[in-house]
Structure 1
Amino acid sequence: MEQKKKKTLLVVSLIVLLLIADQAVKLCVKTHMTIGEAIPVFGKWFYIHFIENQGAAYGMELGGEYGKLILSLFRIAAVVAIGWYIRRLIRREAPTGVIVGVSLVLAGALGNIFDSAFYGLFFSESTFTEVAHFVPWGTGYASFLHGSVVDMLYFPLIEIDRMPDWMPIWGGEPFIFFGPTFNIADSYVTCGMLYLILFQYKFFK
């Protein structure tokens, strides 16, 4: 029983710390940068580039108002399911590494849910010319679950002005690797999944 309590405390502490880090960066970007603004951090390979998206990780989205609502509800259902699964892992006395990996995924999902659920309620709209600011609760730019997710990490590691015409898909087009702009919560999900696949696959067998 004592071991289970320790693992539960570990999970809660880890998720809280990860959420604080994610939200601190997002709030700083949201209140200090305009949409599209980019700050170079490491040459041409890493920028803090502020954009917002209406959808899932790495800028993917579902169209329309109902698409946004469906995605938000799906996120909430996923968080509930992952939380239940972590509780089950703790009860089964699963390895700490497995529990930490799944907790990373949960923290990432929670971080982006917070944006879409609440940012629209207490922030003014971010634009290409105006920085967002706090407004009275419920008077922001969107309703509950319809807010935008803040993204800011951009790593254009390889930029090619024009791909060869014979190339499928990208032939004759400019190409950037890695093109998507994402946030810290997205990286939690990615790192958690990769860690589980690469180092904890035996447990899931």
Structure 2
Amino acid sequence: MNAKKSILLIVLVLLIDQISKIYIKTNFQLGEEIYVFDWFRIHFIENNGAAWGTELGGKTGKLILTLFRLCAIVGIGIWLRNSIRDKSHNLLIISISLIFCGALGNIIDSVFYGIIFNDSYGQVANFTTSQAYGTLFHGKVVDMLYFPIWQGILPEWVPGLGGKFFTFFNAIFNIADSAISIGVMILLFFSKTIFPKK
């Protein structure tokens, strides 16, 4: 896979990610949900911190996380460039491209959304600079894809969770998260093909 195809993949996924986030942000109030199917919903939340919404010590923690993500994406970019230059396996280049654009998509939210949008609490957000909800590097990541494939009370024999209400799959995520997950799964499932023993 050459550089042009890699860049095309990155731009395409990044556009889908940002268009979907901007659409949700400017058409949904925070917490609003639409049922597409029983097992698939559009549910608008904002991620204030790291993975799964983990908080990291307020504004300072958020800034450190964003700066770490920026450093990580530079490293991923170098890995991608070297893999293309070395004519590595196509699956490796595809996986790194997906991880790169997914990380970049969430970084855009973290860096810029705080200064270009107003709040989504009880209202639909607008592009604004006079009533922005945050500052540079302190934006929130927009998540909206929710797949509660199964919900119900688990049987009593299930260790630790028996008799309790349980939802599978309970995470709410976005296109960028999906790109990262798919890229990592490609690396895991096809590792012998991508990294053959010499």
The TM-score, its normalising length taken from structure 1, stands at 0.89
- 1:116 partner SS: helix
- Provide the residue aligned with 1:131 in structure 2: 124
Give 1:98 shift.
Answer: 1.1
Alpha-carbon distance in 1 for matches of 2:104, 2:167: 29
| Aligned residue runs from structure 1 range 73-84, under 5 A | 73-84=67-78
Alignment of 1:80-119 (within 5 A): 80-119=74-113
Q: Would the alpha carbon gap of residues 100 and 174 (structure 1) be closer, same or farther in structure 2, given more than 3 Å must change?
A: same
8 Å Cα contact 1:57/1:182 also seen in 2:
no
Q: Give the drift of 1:58.
A: 3.8
The answer to whether the 8 A contact 2:155-2:163 is kept is yes
- Would the aligned equivalents of 1:59 and 1:181 in 2 still touch at CA under 8 Å? no
1:63, 1:204 → 2: CA distance?
39
* CA–CA distance in structure 1, aligned partners of residues 185 and 63 of structure 2: 28
Map 1:50-199 onto structure 2 (within 5 A).
50-127=44-121, 129-136=122-129, 139-160=131-152, 162-164=153-155, 167-199=158-190
1:57 CA displacement: 3.7
- Pair 81,142 (structure 1): closer, same or farther in 2 beyond 3 Å: same
**8 Å CA contact retained: 1:97, 1:200:** no
- Alpha-carbon distance, 1:194 to partner: 0.4
Shift of 1:166: 5.7
1:80, distance to aligned residue in structure 2 (A): 0.4
Aligned length: 196
Residues 131, 115 of structure 1: alpha-carbon distance in 2 compared, 3 angstrom cutoff? same
**Contact kept? 1:36, 1:51, Cα under 8 Å:** yes
Q: How many Å apart are 1:171 and its aligned residue?
A: 4.1
Question: Relative to structure 2, which stretch is displaced further, 109-118 or 64-73?
Answer: 64-73
Identity percentage over the alignment? Answer: 48
TM score, norm. by length of structure 2? 0.92
* Ranges in structure 2 where 5+ consecutive residues have no aligned partner: none
Superposition pairs of residues 19-30 of structure 1, within 5 angstroms: 19-30=14-25
- Structure 2: how far apart are the matches of 1:149 and 1:172? 34
Measure, in 1, the Cα distance between the counterparts of 2:163 and 2:107: 38
RMSD of Structure 2 on Structure 1 (CA): 1.8
Q: What is the CA–CA distance in structure 1 between the aligned matches of 2:30 and 2:55, rounded to whole Å?
A: 18
